[in-house]
Amino acid sequence: MRQAWLIYRKELLGMARSYQLLWVPVVLMLLVVMQPVTSYYLPEILAASGSMPEELIAGFPIPGSAEVMAGVLGQYSTIGVLILVIAGMQAVAGERYGGTAALVLVRPVSSASFISAKWAGQMTLMLLSFTASYAASWYYTVLLIGPVSWREGMIAGGLYILWLTFAVSLTILLSTLLRGSAAAVISLLLMGALSLGYSLAPAWFSWSPGRLLVEGTAAFGDSPLKPAIFPSIMTALLSFVCIISAVWSLRRQSIPDLRGD
């Protein structure tokens, strides 16, 4: 535990030094805050573009707060995941190929504490970015468009946090197995396949983490909330399996061949 704590603190220090702890949350905040802002100014933006008749613009409805919040969530499932995966792709791979991992792991440091510290570091970054940006977009939506239901907002946020937790865990596993950019590409493809799989064949993929995205967005709809308990448990389980496999594969990996660099 002590070792994991030390590596975790070192990890946070490294993220602060590379400005990751600052730019990832700021970028996500900017991305999702633009959603309510552009929705609010949409009629004026359309008018300024000058190609639409006045009557049409006057009758153009400003989307409701539920729609805007659903749009905000949409940003996380695409660009949000992209940024988090790119930020995390070097977490283990960078140290493995940079030779630091070898230096750390020849000491009596277990690969379990190494991986869990890395995971905790990426989770901190994710939770910080998500909370800050979700709160900011919520605030803007309430201010500009209208009240957001607490219950719906919290449920949707929780489901997305779970989905992003899975993204972080998968990235850590792939970063242990592969080099950084390959890890990023493959985890993005897997995440995409999971969410696409559920929208194409919901019956087959009812266990899939991809379902959390659909249920999270639907939390803002008119339909009564369906419990997403089964996919939530599966997602938590899959994240755990990713971490365990990462520990296991790091333990049996030899020190990577550095001649290829």
C-alpha span between 55 and 33 (Å, rounded): 29
C-alpha span between 4 and 208 (Å, rounded): 31
**Which residues 14-73 are close enough to bind another protein by CB under 8 A?**
18-20, 22-23, 26-27, 29-30, 33-34, 37, 41, 44-45, 47-48, 50
C-alpha span between 118 and 123 (Å, rounded): 9
Of 12, 62, 86, 236, the one binding another protein (CB under 8 A) is 86
Which CB atom, from 18 or from 199, has the smaller least distance to another protein? 18
**Which residues 197-236 are close enough to bind another protein by CB under 8 A?**
none
- Give kind and range of the element (H or E) at residue 214: helix 210-218
Strand, coil or helix: 74? helix
C-alpha span between 207 and 188 (Å, rounded): 19
**Which residues 145-184 are close enough to bind another protein by CB under 8 A?**
180
- State the minimum distance, in angstroms, from the CB of residue 218 to another protein: 29
Which CB atom, from 52 or from 237, has the smaller least distance to another protein? 52
Which CB atom, from 83 or from 213, has the smaller least distance to another protein? 83
Site size toward another protein, by CB under 8 A: 27
What the block records as the tokens of 137 is 């977009």
Of 63, 98, 192, 197, the one binding another protein (CB under 8 A) is 98
Tell me the CA distances in angstroms from 209 to 55, 179, 206, one per residue in order.
44, 25, 9
- State the minimum distance, in angstroms, from the CB of residue 70 to another protein: 21
- State the minimum distance, in angstroms, from the CB of residue 61 to another protein: 18
Handedness of CA 151, 157, 163, 169 (dihedral sign): negative
C-alpha span between 190 and 141 (Å, rounded): 32
Task: Give the other-Cβ count within 10 Å of 227's Cβ.
Answer: 8
Which CB atom, from 100 or from 199, has the smaller least distance to another protein? 100
- State the minimum distance, in angstroms, from the CB of residue 26 to another protein: 5
Which CB atom, from 37 or from 236, has the smaller least distance to another protein? 37
- State the minimum distance, in angstroms, from the CB of residue 180 to another protein: 8
C-alpha span between 112 and 250 (Å, rounded): 9
- State the minimum distance, in angstroms, from the CB of residue 20 to another protein: 8
Cα–chain center distance at 63: 25
Which CB atom, from 38 or from 206, has the smaller least distance to another protein? 38
C-alpha span between 62 and 207 (Å, rounded): 36
Which CB atom, from 33 or from 126, has the smaller least distance to another protein? 33
HSE (side-chain half, CA atoms, 13 Å) at 249 = 17
Which CB atom, from 48 or from 203, has the smaller least distance to another protein? 48
Interacting residue ranges for another protein, rule: CB under 8 A: 18-20, 22-23, 26-27, 29-30, 33-34, 37, 41, 44-45, 47-48, 50, 83, 86, 90, 94, 98, 136, 143-144, 180
